[in-house]
């Protein structure tokens, strides 16, 4: 395993539900990421937390709300989703050192989300 | 905007053959990375090549980088059925924390 866990692995929710995705990394990294992967589209970066501060929000609709309480945990809170939000949601972590070019990212297994 | 673009989109070969996948990108980079994804699972990092490197090896993997052409290739030698997966290149756009992924190449290795 990669040292990044995600729960739940599968989630089916109605458009009026509220749910949360959880990610935990056991690698001592200081950056965490949420990605969305839809069929036939490139992996889309949604949010980045760097040293626990959100440094990236790629025009993600407000029905997705991230939370990073500490450097090991990352949540994605979901509410009033649309069917087109059905996708594989991937969490990743990496080490970020100032002034040093990027390192590899470690991914969790993903949460398969279906919005009905 | 999308940075890495893999080519071909799909590749089917017989076990034992070599598989070559290509990636083109648009802007300057610090490094380029290749990842593998089994169906419905997370991505696994394979190899990282820095902009000042031209070739790198890891086991049966060989990666080349041509910064003048803004392109990279991933060669898997003596392929196995277990190599069946999608392969993605990712570039860092000179960021120290953000990667941009392509759509990937789906490799099928037939036993």
Alpha carbon distance B103, A17 (integer Å): 31
Give residue A37's pLDDT.
95
A40 touches chain B (CB under 8 A): yes
Give residue A5's pLDDT.
97
> Does B62 score more than 70 pLDDT?
yes
Question: Which has the higher per-residue pLDDT, A17 or B84?
Answer: B84
- Per-residue pLDDT tens digits for A1-60: 779 999 999 999 998 889 999 999 999 999 999 999 998 788 999 999 987 667 677 789
Task: Identify which of B2, B88, B96 has the shortest CB distance to residue A101.
Answer: B96
Residue at token pair 């052409």? B69
- Strand, coil or helix: what is A54? strand
Question: Which has the higher per-residue pLDDT, B1 or A1?
Answer: A1
> Does A101 score more than 70 pLDDT?
no
Numbered residues of chain B with Cβ closer than 8 Å to any chain A Cβ: 2, 30-31, 33, 35, 40-45, 48, 50, 88, 92, 94-104
Alpha carbon distance B87, B44 (integer Å): 9
Evaluate whether A43 touches A93 at the Cβ level (below 8 Å).
no
Mean pLDDT across B66-76: 96
Residue B99, min C-alpha distance to chain A (Å): 8
Contact (CB<8Å) B97/A41:
no
Q: For the stretch B49-77, what's the b/e string if a residue is b when 16 or more beta carbons lie within 10 angstroms of its beta carbon?
A: bebeeeeeeeeebbbbbeeeebbbbbebe
- Per-residue pLDDT tens digits for A75-91: 999 999 999 999 999 99
Alpha carbon distance A33, A26 (integer Å): 14
> Does B1 score more than 50 pLDDT?
no
> Does B103 score more than 80 pLDDT?
yes
- Per-residue pLDDT tens digits for B18-59: 999 999 999 888 899 999 999 888 999 999 999 999 999 999
Percent of chain B with pLDDT strictly greater than 70: 95
- For strand A111-115 and strand A10-13, is the pairing parallel, antiparallel, or unpaired? parallel
Beta bridge partners of B34: B47, B89
> Does B2 score more than 70 pLDDT?
no
> Does A68 score more than 80 pLDDT?
yes
- Biggest CA–CA distance in chain A, Å, is 45
- Strand, coil or helix: what is B81? helix
């Amino acid at each position: 395993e990669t040292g990044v866990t995600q729960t739940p692995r599968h989630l089916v929710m109605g458009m009026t539900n509220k749910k949360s995705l959880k990610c935990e990394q056991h690698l001592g990294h200081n950056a965490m990421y949420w990605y969305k992967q839809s069929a036939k589209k490139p992996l889309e970066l949604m949010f980045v937390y760097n040293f626990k501060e959100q440094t990236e929000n790629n025009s993600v609709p407000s029905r997705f709300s991230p939370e990073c309480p500490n450097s090991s945990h990352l949540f994605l809170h979901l509410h009033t989703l649309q069917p087109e939000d059905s996708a594989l949601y991937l969490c990743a972590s990496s080490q970020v050192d100032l002034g040093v070019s990027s390192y590899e990212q470690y991914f969790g297994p993903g949460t398969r989300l279906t919005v009905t | 905007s999308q940075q890495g673009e893999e080519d071909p989109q799909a590749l089917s070969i017989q076990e034992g053959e070599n598989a070559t996948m290509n990636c083109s990108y648009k802007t300057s980079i610090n490094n380029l990375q290749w990842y593998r994804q089994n169906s419905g699972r997370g991505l696994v990092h394979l190899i990282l090549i820095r902009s000042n490197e031209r070739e790198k090896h890891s086991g049966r993997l060989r990666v080349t980088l041509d910064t003048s052409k803004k392109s990279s290739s991933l060669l898997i030698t003596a392929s196995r059925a277990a190599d069946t997966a999608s392969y993605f290149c990712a570039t860092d756009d000179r960021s120290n924390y953000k990667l941009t992924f392509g759509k990937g190449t789906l490799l099928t290795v037939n036993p």
